[in-house]
Amino acid sequence: MCLPEKDSRRSLILETALHLFTVRGYFSTSVHDIRREADVSIGSIYHHFKGKEAIARALYDGLVGTMAQAMEEIAAAHGSAHDRCRAVVAHLYELTERCPEAMQFILYARHREFLPGEKPICSSRPFELMKEMVAAGIETGEIRVMAPVVAATSLFGGAIRMIYLRLDGALPGPLPDHLEETWQCAWRSVAAE
Amino acid sequence: MCLPEKDSRRSLILETALHLFTVRGYFSTSVHDIRREADVSIGSIYHHFKGKEAIARALYDGLVGTMAQAMEEIAAAHGSAHDRCRAVVAHLYELTERCPEAMQFILYARHREFLPGEKPICSSRPFELMKEMVAAGIETGEIRVMAPVVAATSLFGGAIRMIYLRLDGALPGPLPDHLEETWQCAWRSVAAE
DNA sequence: GTCTATACCACGATAGAC
DNA sequence: GTCTATCGTGGTATAGAC
């Protein structure tokens, strides 16, 4: 449901791997664990993927890709930095509730630890798009003139921390309940007066 | 220098382990790697620590402990929520520059993946103290009346994201250069009007 | 494409001399 | 307290039948 792929053996393997990677961690999950949980054979797994790392890479690329696509649709659907950024936070909150495992895999895993050569998540496409939205907002005068990095971290940092808290089980209710309050704080921190 | 321990074989092992855990990751670091890098014997390592996990635990407890102590000193040294929280951010920024590996180990590692039974980092003592400072600020009227979690994430979320960026090499200059700007955004987001 | 069986190796941990 | 040598387990990945 959270993965872009169609029904197939391959997608079953991916779904199972995502589940195990998030609840037990990448390194604590063996290929045999995936085999058992998905009820397929080792040979089948190695037929579809070069190895364990390739499974993680396919998951990562797929999830980051759909996330970037969502960001682009948001950017196209709204006209101001305020509306765009608010829609991004709303989207991230909903995504966290709907697909906590996907969110956890993207945000919480240290990909550089098991995906050699991968750039840090904060340099990935979705995060770059968020930075661009903020930079555009500074251009138009909606957002105070300041270092773009600082503006972006101030605007999205609180929301991202809320997501971490939620994934860690440190937040009781669903995230969208806090959308209004978090967004007002976030926007207040950078809005031009 | 960042670890509380005195000079000894034991502290040498801890320092080396911290270094390797942060640059290569916990699971990608074998006890033999630590042995080679520290130029000690396997036997010596297993004499001082029960195993690899015990090394990680000693590191974690030591670093979180000194961090919590610093927070308590900050709380005692300042009278208002504003001054306390600002001092916390300044301290975290300086600590990141002085001991990036320690900071990375505390913030970036998924301890629950290799320290069974450990609660999430956001529930650890230093983070609890930060939440308490914010809650006190709401009591005194310095900070808007709002859900304490939201206030805490809004106030510290931006700074924490800046630290992640810095640790990932996505921020060129040293963090303290951005202290003033980040703090003004953070405080503006929650200050009572 | 899917399966079983197995090769191979690296790792954490221990034994025991000094 | 420190060392060297070694063991046993469990991991990834492959071979080859169906």
Question: What are the Cα distances from residue B18, in Å, to B2, B9, B100, B163?
Answer: 10, 14, 11, 18
Q: What is the dihedral of CA B45, B101, B160, A84, to 10 degrees?
A: -110
A185 touches strand D (CB under 7 A): no
Q: What is the pLDDT of residue B109?
A: 82
Given a cut of 80, whether residue A98 has pLDDT beyond it is: yes
- CA proximity to A147, closest of B31, B24, B37, B171: B171
**Domains parsed from chain B with CATH numbers:** 61-190 (1.10.357.10)
- Shortest CA to C1' contact from B8: nucleotide: D1
How many Å apart are CA A10 and CA A23, to the nearest integer? Answer: 20
> Which tens digit of pLDDT belongs to each residue from B75-105?
999 999 999 999 999 999 999 999 999 999 9
> Which tens digit of pLDDT belongs to each residue from A132-146?
999 999 999 999 999
Given a cut of 80, whether residue B7 has pLDDT beyond it is: no
Q: What is the pLDDT of residue A124?
A: 96
At residue A111 the predicted structure's pLDDT band, cuts being 50, 70 and 90, is confident
Flag if B25 and A170 touch (Cβ within 8 Å).
no
Question: CA of A94 to nearest chain B CA: how many angstroms apart?
Answer: 17
Q: What is the pLDDT of residue B159?
A: 98
Residue type, A68: A
Given a cut of 80, whether residue B126 has pLDDT beyond it is: yes
Q: Which residue of B has its CA nearest to A128?
A: B170
Tell whether A114 lies on the interface with B, counting CB pairs under 8 A: yes
Full-model pTM = 0.97
Flag if B185 and A156 touch (Cβ within 8 Å).
no
Distance in Å, residue B40 CA to nucleotide C17 C1': 17
Given a cut of 80, whether residue A173 has pLDDT beyond it is: yes
Flag if B154 and A122 touch (Cβ within 8 Å).
no
Q: Integer distance in angstroms from the first to the last C-alpha of chain A?
A: 42
- CA proximity to B166, closest of A148, A136, A126, A120: A120
- CA proximity to A4, closest of A58, A40, A46: A58
Q: Which residue of B has its CA nearest to A24?
A: B113
Q: Which residue of A has its CA nearest to B145?
A: A181
Question: CA of B5 to nearest chain A CA: how many angstroms apart?
Answer: 28
Q: What is the dihedral of CA B146, B150, B151, B153, to 10 degrees?
A: 180
Residue of A27, A104, A105, A161 best to disrupt the B interface, most CBs of B under 10 A:
A161
If 0-12 CB within 10 Å is exposed, 13-18 middle and 19+ buried, where does residue B7 land?
Answer: exposed
A53 touches strand D (CB under 7 A): yes
Tell whether B156 lies on the interface with A, counting CB pairs under 8 A: yes
> Which tens digit of pLDDT belongs to each residue from B49-80?
999 999 999 999 999 999 999 999 999 999 99
Chain B hits for A28, Cβ within 8 Å = 113-114
Question: CA of B52 to nearest chain A CA: how many angstroms apart?
Answer: 15
The closest CB to that of A168, out of B24, B122, B146, belongs to B122
A46 touches strand D (CB under 7 A): yes
